Structure 1
Amino acid sequence: MKLTEKETEILEILDENSRADLNTIAKMAGVTTEEAEAIIQKLEDQKVIIDYSTMIDWRKVDGHEGVTAMIDVKVTPKRGVGFDEIAERIYRFQEVESVYLMSGVYDLSVVIRGRSMSDIARFVSEKLSTLDSVVSTTTHFILKRYKHDGKVFETGDDDKRIVVSP
């Protein structure tokens, strides 16, 4: 789909800050509030804008840390549908946050969240690996997030300079 310069500019503004209010977006894009609202509505209707999301550092919320895992999945694609059918079956599971078709040794990369490592293990052994097209999996547990979707989780603003005194 070919977008106008203003439509692209509004997408870039929303990509940087999806909480920006309509007046701010209009001013930044150099359009009226009504034009900005119409452009956003059009982009939502055409599914260019899929959703507005919040990024939360769950490590800072007691009792809600959870576990995130990235699972590399090797699959046998089906004739006529390729990887799409198995990817759809995987992304329909409630635990699954993301599914990506990848190049390299593995075909799909699946990101899931669970309350514990046992939840992740149960998902892999009971749900994911039992699917017909799944040949093998490799699970990687995320130990710490430093940066996600362009956002740094901890800035580490502490002054690390050595104090020098006479």
Structure 2
Amino acid sequence: MKELNELEMKVLDLLKEDARMTPALLATLIGVDEVEIITAIAELESEHVIVKYAAVVNWSKVEDEKVTAQIEVQITPERGRGFEGIAERIYLYPQVKSVFLMSGAYDLLVEIEGRNLREVANFVTEKLSTIDSVLSTKTNFILKKYKQDGIIYEEQEEEPRLMISP
């Protein structure tokens, strides 16, 4: 695990807020030379600390009928590999967007996307549930996203103010 210096932490914090920030802007905001920023970013990318730059999309504003589900999965760990082998087997499916090892009532939280409910159901019954180590699944469909990764999706309406008259 890489121990980050103060400059690298500042770069990561700013890029997490807006990945489109240029090295010149980052240098200005942090108060260092642009070459230092370019070097820091290159090192963070080569060490796989920065793994991808991505846009955050509010899909509800687009005519796209994607269905997102979070599946709670209870599994029996594999001897010698624990949860790693099963998690890897699951995250290699293209419809799987995230896999998390959890504490609590279930072991893995799997987030998938499908074109419709049937596609998600087929994934759960034909692919996920058939893995030998999977004991049970519980599927929860995401109906609406209000906030994700610190980003509020819906614009908040201002409460109408009543006029005060003398």
Are residue 145 (structure 1) and residue 130 (structure 2) matched? no
Contact 2:73/2:107 (CA < 8 Å) preserved in 1?
Answer: yes
Q: CA deviation at 1:141?
A: 0.3
Q: Which residue type is aligned with residue 19 of structure 2? A: S
Map of 1:126 onto structure 2:
126
Q: Deviations over 1:87-131 (max 9, x none)?
A: 000000000000000000100000000110111001000110011
Matches within 5 A, 1:15-164: 15-62=16-63, 64-156=64-156, 158-164=157-163
User: What whole-Å deviation, never above 9, does each CA across 1:47-95 have from its counterpart, x for those lacking one?
Assistant: 1111111111111111x13110000000000111000000000000000
Q: Aligned pair count?
A: 164
Unpaired segments ≥5 residues, structure 1? none
TM-score (norm 2): 0.95
Distance in 2 of aligned mates of 1:5 and 1:159: 39
Question: 1:55, 1:5 → 2: CA distance?
Answer: 26
- C-alpha spacing 1:122/1:30, structure 2 compared with 1 (3 Å): same
**CA deviations over 1:13-51 (Å, ceiling 9, x no partner):** 111111111110111121111110010000000011111
For structure 2, the residue ranges without an aligned partner over 5 or more in a row are none
Could you tell me the TM-score, scaled by structure 1's length?
0.95
Match of 1:100, SS state, is strand
Secondary structure of 1:144 counterpart? coil
Alpha-carbon RMSD across the aligned residues, in angstroms, is 1.1
- For 1:68 and 1:50, locate their aligned partners in 2 and report how far apart those are by CA, in whole Å: 23
**Sequence identity of aligned pairs in percent?**
46
Q: Secondary structure, in 3 states, of the residue corresponding to 2:155?
A: coil
CA contact (8 A) 2:72 2:106 kept: yes
Question: Which letter maps to 1:41?
Answer: A
Mapped partners of 2:145, 2:47: distance in 1: 33
Residue 159 of structure 1, CA deviation: 2.5
